[in-house]
Amino acid sequence: MPLIIERNDITKMQCDAVVNAANRLLAGGGGVDGAIHRAAGPQLDKACKKLGGCETGQAKITSGFKMPCRYIIHTVGPIWTGGGMGEPELLASCYRESLRLAAEYKCESVAFPLISAGAYGYPKEAALQTAVSEITAFLRGNDMTVYIVVYDRECFQVSRKLMKDVAEYIDENYIAEHFMARNSRAFIPDLQKGATPPPGKGAAGFFGSITQSRAVQRKEIPLADRANEEAPQSAASLDELLDCLDESFSQMLLRKIDEKGMTDVQCYKKANIDRKLFSKIRSNADYKPSKPTVLAFAIALELSLDETNEMLMKAGFALSHSSKFDVIVEYFIKKRRYDIFEINEVLFSFDQLMLG
């Protein structure tokens, strides 16, 4: 996953380089700057003094000293004064210059804080958007793992409407399926067909319909008839399954990339998957990926829900409504919203694994 958003203390990140949100004097301070100077030890201060300061939007590099990283890249973000003094461009330059230095020093991994989003007052959501767009632009032409280390959840001002829609979707699907898994004896014909609880009632409506449906007697079908009744369908699904076994996940992925007119690079970059993992998948027809990896490719290829389920099945998975992660990803696929970073922000907000 070339871009990873992670909640952590940046001084704990074990990367090749950690980026410091510094000031123009490189004299240390509070926030990230203070934490890094404390973690790196007094030698960092001596090294900074030799650099002769740093202009806003620029970046300079020192050793990591006692920090668990080889280098510390010091960059100076703009002080927010409303956005009319070139702040967005200066902030973007901080990411570009820091990444340029990291590449120059052959770093394979870099961790960024949200530059300017603290004492310098830059609106957090705008700061995150600039970070994601500059880093993804860089990753289109470079192989590196980049972390955005967020310290507080408020960094994600995922739109209230989106969070509400996703929460309602989880409520209607996740609870229904989850509850049914624990109450499989309560045969509920209407919900078996995927119906959802009475609108607007969520769990309460669902539990209410359970009470009514418990009165429903299961339609008993003699075993022999049941087998015959289902035979044509099960025979067909068995053929389909056998047919599906002919094409592996890896083969379906490469076929879909061609069908979509994408290049391999475009696809794995859009899926937020690193080149090494993609080349493993490409070179091994029987490669078994993780479920988040399969779903990341489904999003990158903008697959329908049926195509996504087909691709999951080839890797030995299925979407399950007893998994909040699956329900959230299903929501975005059904809405045909394929921005992997928007999905990851919502997954992050629900404390779920991220795609890629």
Q: Where on the chain is the footprint of ligand APR (CB under 6 A)?
A: 9-11, 21-23, 29-35, 77, 113-120, 149, 151-152
String of DSSP letters for 21-57: EE-TT----SHHHHHHHHHH-HHHHHHHHTTT---TT
33 is catalytic: yes
Contact 307/317 with Cβ under 8 angstroms? no
**At 168, is the secondary structure helix, strand, or coil?**
helix
Integer Rg of the chain from CA: 25
Contact 316/323 with Cβ under 8 angstroms? no
C-beta closer to ligand APR: residue 54 or 191: 54
The distance of closest approach from Cβ of residue 307 to ligand APR in the complex, given in angstroms and rounded to an integer, is 39
Residue 10 is classified by DSSP as G
Query: What are the counts of helices (DSSP H) followed by strands (DSSP E) for the chain?
Result: 16, 6
C-beta closer to ligand APR: residue 113 or 197: 113
Question: Is the dihedral angle over the CA atoms 352, 354, 355, 356 positive or is it negative?
Answer: negative
The distance of closest approach from Cβ of residue 132 to ligand APR in the complex, given in angstroms and rounded to an integer, is 14
C-beta closer to ligand APR: residue 152 or 190: 152
The distance of closest approach from Cβ of residue 81 to ligand APR in the complex, given in angstroms and rounded to an integer, is 13
- Phi first, then psi: what are they for 23, rounded to 5°? -115, 175
C-beta closer to ligand APR: residue 320 or 349: 349
CA distances from 16 to 39, 65, 152, 339 (A): 16, 12, 24, 28
The active-site residue out of 9, 16, 33, 286 is 33
C-beta closer to ligand APR: residue 5 or 343: 5
Catalytic residue numbers read: 33
